[in-house]
Amino acid sequence: MIQSSLDPDTARAIRLGSVIWILAVQFFIAQAVVQSAWKTPFSLKQNFISDLGNTTCGPYPLDSNSYVCSPWHAWMNASFILLGLTILSGVVLGRSAFPAGWTSGIGLVVLSLAGLGIVLVGVFPENENIALHRVGAAGHFVLGNMAMAILGIALAMGSGVAVDLTKTGGQSALAIYSIVSGVVGLVATALFITDHFLGLGIGGMERVAAYPLPLWLMVAGIWFLRNSTTQSAN
């Protein structure tokens, strides 16, 4: 039997932070629900995610032929804010799940800044303050994807919860997944901002850039929850 290296309070904090990260699933549920309220066609290829949080009905951008009208926009903006707070809460509670060292520290700081950016996206919808909205979106797309890659490198370099538990390579799998997710998101972000959509449309490429982070939160949350629970039971 492998002895636990986590004290009970730390293990509980990691479990709570993991559960909070798993709740990032609400971001996808909110999009489906808010989209269902649209009376006009909504295209995953042509509409931005932020169109769901647009607070008025009319052409957006103003000089385009795209008509945006999201009756349940408040729910989408609340979902953005909740996702940002989910990231921040998970970082505070679950930081001990990552290997000690400056690489993890940098990754967690960058991830926290991404969380703050996503809060900005919800607080400042695209049609109300596009400058701050874009700052927040950049935090999500650039910093969020960078954070995953950095934390993946930290997991690959250091010893963490899973290494103490099983020595089975599970931490290596999470490290690889984290790095790949970050790289995919960063490449998609670069393609998105340079108008190279590869047949996915502007909305489709935006989603390739935006979705790796909430998906990673769910995967990492499940992985840390499983391992911290197993370890605290040993």
Give pLDDT < 50 ranges for the chain: 1-4, 160-168, 232-234
> Largest alpha-carbon pair distance within the chain?
66
Would you state the pLDDT for residue 158?
Answer: 75
Would you state the pLDDT for residue 201?
Answer: 96
Reported as half-sphere exposure (CB side, CA atoms, 13 A), residue 210 has a value of 25
The answer for residues whose C-beta is within 8 angstroms of residue 35's C-beta and 6 or more apart is 42, 52
For residue 195 the two structure tokens come to 């108008």
Would you state the pLDDT for residue 2?
Answer: 28
pTM: 0.90
Would you state the pLDDT for residue 172?
Answer: 84
Would you state the pLDDT for residue 5?
Answer: 59
The answer for residues whose C-beta is within 8 angstroms of residue 207's C-beta and 6 or more apart is 44, 49
Instruction: Kindly give the residue spans of alpha helices, DSSP state H, lying in 71-169.
Output: 73-94, 102-123, 130-138, 145-157, 161-165
| Domain spans in the chain, listed from the N-terminal domain onward | 8-233
Would you state the pLDDT for residue 7?
Answer: 77
Run of H or E including 26? helix 26-36
Q: What is the pLDDT of residues 87-140, one digit of tens each?
A: 999 999 999 899 888 999 999 999 999 999 999 999 999 999 999 999 999 999
Would you state the pLDDT for residue 19?
Answer: 96
